[in-house]
Amino acid sequence: SQKIEQNSEALNIQEGKTATLTCNYTNYSPAYLQWYRQDPGRGPVFLLLIRENEKEKRKERLKVTFDTTLKQSLFHITASQPADSATYLCALLSSNTGKLIFGQGTTLQVKP
Amino acid sequence: EAQVTQNPRYLITVTGKKLTVTCSQNMNHEYMSWYRQDPGLGLRQIYYSMNVEVTDKGDVPEGYKVSRKEKRNFPLILESPSPNQTSLYFCASRPGQGRYEQYFGPGTRLTVT
């Protein structure tokens, strides 16, 4: 069956460190992978999109990698700040169905 | 301001009483979707629309209806709500034309008793 897995356990890190979140998938052929940020009680906010033929994408302190062989994406926040505390969702756009499928999200807590 | 709006933001209703949640976007986006978000299940797509008068089922369409008569509006209709439809609902839009980032509304928290 098709699955997208994100670490359900919260990630707690110290301010200034690099946070690394993982998104693994099985039985998908994603054309694109996206990362969103969601704050409690609010709608997700788009952060980055990476295509299947791209290895890495950066935006300010954010970096996303996409390994279609390992079926995994890593999301990095460098020099993390308490304001980065939120839930981060990965989402795949399936090239088979054209649908966007979301993972359950990983909650990041950055402590001062 | 470019945005997706939803109304109402909070709604408590009783089983069987028809309701509509409105969604509107002012970005001239082609695609619009409805999602529900439940603890442990994440975001699941209910319905989506590729353009005016074109809609299709998502992963959990049972008990819901949608319509897309105008490009900017995409209402979600619950003809006979049941308690298992208690959830947090999000409307989203995306530009189309090779752009895939989604813009989400603020959410509607629905409770069906």
pLDDT of residue B96: 83
B61 touches A: beta carbon within 8 Å: no
Mean pLDDT in order along chain B per 10 residues (113 residues): 95 97 96 94 93 93 97 97 98 89 96 98
**Minimal Cα distance from A49: which residue of B?**
B101
φ, ψ dihedrals at B84, nearest 5°: -75, 0
Beta strand pairing call for A62-67 and A56-59: antiparallel
Question: How far, in Å, are A50, B14, B65 from residue A71 at the CA level?
Answer: 13, 44, 35
pLDDT of residue B31: 93
**Minimal Cα distance from B89: which residue of A?**
A43
Mean of pLDDT values over A17-22:
97
> Amino acid identity, residue A91?
A
What number of C-beta contacts closer than 8 Å exist between A and B? 47
Is residue A96 very low, low, confident or very high in pLDDT (cuts 50, 70, 90)? low
Q: Is the CB of residue B19 less than 8 Å from the CB of residue B81?
A: yes
Contact flag A44-B100 (C-beta cutoff 8 Å): no
Q: How far is B104 from chain A (nearest CA, A)?
A: 5
B95 touches A: beta carbon within 8 Å: no
Q: How many residues are recorded in chain B?
A: 113
Omega of the bond prior to B8 within 30 degrees of 0, cis?
yes
